[in-house]
Amino acid sequence: MNITAVLFDIDGTLLDMKGAGRRAFVRTIKAVFGFDDDLSYLSFAGSTDLNVLQKVMDHHGQPLTGADCRRFFEHMPRELEQASAGSDLVLYPGVRRLLEALSGRNDVILGLVTGNIAACAQIKLRQFDLHHHFVLGAFGDEHADRNEIARLALGRIRARMSPGDSLGAMFLVGDTPSDIAAAKAIDAVSIAVATGKYTPDELRGAGADVVLTDMGDTGCVMELFAARTGCVTPRCDARHPGSG
């Protein structure tokens, strides 16, 4: 079988936790290390949890040990559950329909490349009952560098494929220049969505292969996937789908 792999970032790409992730991080820093720190000097966009944690410890002049990481990442899911409760969370346009369409195909492997740790990724996806669509992933506690996380995901894609299968095309969908760089690191087509902090022009300037305003037009996005595998010529404009 000719397999298409589609990998997704979470925050800013699929959904908006309205600050719950940052609040959970702040509370976990306090609970585990005793630091009162609002993390106002840090941006989470495109980063990984391990990278953010390292920057926090550097800011406080403290070394980060393996034991520290384990304690922090064991505690953070509990804080995220509490921070998410009652929050006004947002699922971006078209996301549910697109994931249903992709996960319903037996020639598609659907996965995650996210800066979240695995447990927090699942908590965020469960807020909208999306977790069951993804069969594999690579996560922000496995490496501080998103490019390396993408390489881990690629290895897991290949390990999941059946004998005789071939990887015909691979896509990485994200909302930041870091996601675009991660796509290039694994020779994936980078599809950037301007639902996060970056504008379409900024995403194009970062080298995205395709820039979408959002994923609201499911048929158009599916055609773009098919076009990149050589199956169809898309009827929609690859530069501006979802803008209407």
The reported pLDDT for the residue numbered 232 is: 44
Domain residue ranges of the chain, discontinuous segments joined by +: 2-17+90-228, 20-84
Nearest to 24 by CA among 85, 66, 70: 85
The reported pLDDT for the residue numbered 227 is: 82
The reported pLDDT for the residue numbered 241 is: 45
User: Which residues have C-beta within 8 Å of that of residue 53, sequence separation ≥ 6?
Assistant: 64, 69, 72
- d(Cα 213, Cα 197) in Å, to the nearest integer? 12
Mean model confidence pLDDT for the chain? 92
The reported pLDDT for the residue numbered 60 is: 96
The reported pLDDT for the residue numbered 183 is: 98
- d(Cα 170, Cα 6) in Å, to the nearest integer? 6
Say whether 74 sits in a helix, a strand or coil. helix
Complete DSSP assignment for 20-69:
HHHHHHHHHHHHHH------TT---TT--HHHHHHHHHHHTT----HHHH
Kindly compute the dihedral angle of the four CA atoms of residues 100, 102, 106, 108, in this order, to the nearest 10 degrees. Answer: -150
pTM of the entire structure?
Answer: 0.92
Tokens of 47: 């980063």
DSSP 132: G
The reported pLDDT for the residue numbered 229 is: 62
The reported pLDDT for the residue numbered 233 is: 45
The reported pLDDT for the residue numbered 149 is: 98
Per-residue pLDDT of the chain (244 residues; tens, 9 = 90+): 899 999 999 999 999 999 999 999 999 999 999 999 999 999 999 999 999 999 999 999 999 999 999 999 999 999 999 999 978 899 999 999 999 999 999 999 999 999 999 999 999 999 999 999 999 999 999 999 999 999 999 999 999 999 999 999 999 999 999 999 999 999 999 999 999 999 999 999 999 999 999 999 999 999 998 886 655 444 555 444 443 3
Q: Can you tell me which residue has the tokens 């447990």?
A: 119
Nearest to 77 by CA among 21, 127, 160, 152: 21
Say whether 105 sits in a helix, a strand or coil. coil
Burial profile 194-223: b = 16 or more Cβ within 10 angstroms, e = fewer: bbbebebeebbebebbbbbbbbbbbebbbb
The reported pLDDT for the residue numbered 236 is: 56
CATH entry 3.40.50.970 includes domain 2-17+90-228: no
